[in-house]
Structure formats: C-alpha cells, structure tokens
Amino acid sequence: MMGGWGEFAAAYALFLLSHALPVQPGVQAVLRRRLGRRGYLAAYVAVSLAALGWLIVAAGRAPFIPLWAPLPWQLWLPVLVMPFVCLLIAATLGAPNPLSFGGAGNARFDPERPGIAGLTRHPLPVALTLWALAHAAANPDLAHLMMFGGFAVFAMAGSRAIDRRNRRLMGAEWDRLAARTATLPFAALVIGRWRPSGPPPLWRLVLGLALWAGLLAAHRPVIGVSPLPF
C-alpha cells in the first residue's frame, strides 16, 4: 500500500514542480535565453503533459479507498461538461490575452473588445477547473479526489497569483487592459462590463468539437475506462 501511495506522492510533487518552477521569473528568463520563446513553451508543455500522464497513472495504481458511491448524475457530469471545456480551450488558442497564461499576439489585444478574456480573464485555468471538478464528482475515491481536487485548487489559486503578479508588474496598465474582464466566468457580462462583439469564428467551434470527440474516442484506449456511464 505504501508503494502505491509513494508513487502517487512522487508524481504529484513532480506535477506541481513542473508547473511552479519554470514560471518563476529567474528560472523562466534562463530557460527562455537558452531555449528561445518557442523552445521554452514546447518544453514546458511537454514536461507538464508527461507529469500529468504519470500522475493519472499513479492515481489509478494507488490503493482504492471509496468515499461514497457516485450517483448517476455524477457519472454523466464529465460527459456533459467536457464539450464546454473543449470549446473554451479552442476559443483561447492563439487569442490575444496579456492578462493570463496562454495568450498569443498580445500586442493585438483590444481592451474595449477583449474577446474570450471578456468571458473570463483566465480561460485556460477555468477550463482546467471545470475538467477537474467534473471528474472529481465522477470518481469519489480518495486518490482521485485528491488529484482532481488538487487540480481545481491549483487552477483557481493560479488565476489569483497571475492577477497579483500582473498588477504588480503592469501597474495602471493592468487596470486599463482588465477594465472589461473578470475572473469569474460570465461575471463581466452579468454586471454589464462586457458585451460579446459577435459569435466566435466557426473554425473555433469546429476545433472545440473535434477536440471533444478526440478525447472521447481516446479515453478508453489511453485511460483504460470508458467515459460513457453505460
């Protein structure tokens, strides 16, 4: 039993380090200087995905300690939530967003028409949070709740940390850029701070649905469990 928990703890520690260490300003500056911007991003993504894969495998190998029997709606929750997660990711890829992780072409960002940042200032962390909470509900055993619950906490805490860092580094410019955004999804829309400028491009919708279909098809071969609760 200790061996199973030991691997889980080691995988969890590596996952956290793979995300926390490379984004430290000093470490990031060294890596960008040696690898270049694209090399840094590619290495960051590769290491993060490898650490995530090991953590998922380690959670499956950890001793199974059920906490309660999932209800039918809990089993369906990932199936229903994941299309929105994939659409959110597709809407974020390549979109300018200097306020959060994952922005591209940030010089093109228009604070009056912030795009996906108007829906939520941190679309990728929000997508990770939704993914994690939906899967935590469908897997109420100790190891998976620790893993998915930790992902959700990590993503939400990361959003707050990004805001604090950007406020410190950007000063009044952050207030100008973030004027029509909010961290909580749809909050800027509800309070009238932001209005959509139009529907998202069709190619982003197609990409999101294709990503969802691919994850659905790959779930059993890769994870070993069907995502469909029947």
How confident is the chain (230 residues) per 10-residue block, as mean pLDDT? 78 89 81 84 86 90 92 93 95 92 86 94 94 95 95 92 91 95 94 89 94 93 86
Q: What is the full DSSP assignment across 17-71?
A: HHHHSTTSHHHHHHHHHHHHHHHHHHHHHHHHHHHHHHHHHHHHHS---B-SPPP
Q: How many other CB atoms are there within 10 angstroms of residue 131's CB atom? A: 23
Q: Are 127 and 92 in contact (CB under 8 A)?
A: yes
How many other CB atoms sit within 10 Å of the CB of residue 2?
8
pLDDT at site 2: 47
Give the per-residue pLDDT at 3.
56
DSSP letters, 97-152, are -TTSTT--SGGG-BTTB-THHHH-S-HHHHHHHHHHHHHHHH--BHHHHHHHHHHH
Q: Please state the length of the chain.
A: 230
User: E strand or H helix at 162, and its extent?
Assistant: helix 142-170
Q: Which residues pair with 110 in a beta bridge?
A: 113
Beta bridge partners, 183, equal: none
Residues 6+ apart with CB under 8 A from 110: none
pLDDT at 1: 46
Q: Is residue 150 within 8 Å of residue 156, measured between CB atoms?
A: no
> Is this model's pTM higher than 0.95 or not?
no
